[in-house]
Copies of this chain bind each other. A is one copy, B any other.
């Protein structure tokens, strides 16, 4: 039952927004009793957050290829693909929608899910690919922030090169390197 209810919740959230995602509507779409939904999730807020978290974690797997650049390009490539589609954009817009029935502090579910990506950066530091003291959160924000800003502010689309270029900037910087290279991207 859990998968059917969560899938129905994500569909309704993406098509009708927060206001449409009532427990009754989700239960109806999933073909289960409203009381069963309340028994399992207790509140509408728990249901919505469980649906979004499960959806995002499934859409954004954390790669472990042994190469930090490759890992980051794959992970943020998944994020870019998600945000390039109507479904992902709708889910992102939920974050900026005001809804008094949801705790404001829980709006951070996107950025919370991205915190999982820290593991890729930490492995890069352990392998010596990144300098000691690299801040995983900062690096993640420097690549994801521009994608979020494009969707929310300008609506600008992007091609296949944006993610590799953002990853390259965060890894290589824009100051000349005496070792002469951007590491091959």
Q: Write the residues of chain A forming the contact surface with B, with a CB cutoff of 8 angstroms.
A: 93, 95-96, 104-105, 107-108, 110-111, 121, 124, 128-131, 134-135, 138-139, 141-150, 152-156, 165-166, 169-179, 183
What are the 6 tightest A-B residue pairs by CB atom distance, in nearest-first order? A173-B173, A145-B145, A145-B146, A141-B146, A108-B154, A145-B149
Check A155/B107 contact, CB under 8 A, given A142-B170, A175-B183, A179-B177: yes
Looking at the assembled complex, report how far the CB atom of A171 sits from the nearest CB atom of chain B, in whole angstroms.
Answer: 5
Q: Which listed residue (B156, B165, B176) contacts A135, Cβ 8 A? A: B165
Q: Contact at A138–B153, with CB atoms within 8 Å?
A: no
Q: Contact at B144–A149, with CB atoms within 8 Å?
A: yes
Looking at the assembled complex, report how far the CB atom of A92 sits from the nearest CB atom of chain B, in whole angstroms.
Answer: 8
Specify how many copies of this chain sit in the oligomer.
2
- Provide the main secondary structure of the chain A interface: helix
Within 8 Å CB of A107, what residues of B?
Answer: 153-155
Check A96/B173 contact, CB under 8 A, given A141-B146, A145-B148, A148-B148: no
Check A96/B149 contact, CB under 8 A, given A171-B174, A175-B131: no
Q: Would you give 30 A-B contacts (Cβ < 8 Å), ordered by A?
A: A96-B96, A96-B152, A107-B153, A108-B154, A110-B154, A111-B149, A111-B153, A111-B156, A130-B174, A131-B174, A138-B146, A138-B169, A139-B169, A139-B174, A141-B146, A141-B150, A141-B166, A142-B145, A142-B146, A144-B145, A145-B146, A145-B149, A145-B150, A172-B173, A172-B175, A173-B173, A173-B174, A177-B177, A177-B178, A178-B178
Distance of A37 Cα from B169 Cα, bound (Å)? 46
Within 8 Å CB of A121, what residues of B?
Answer: 174
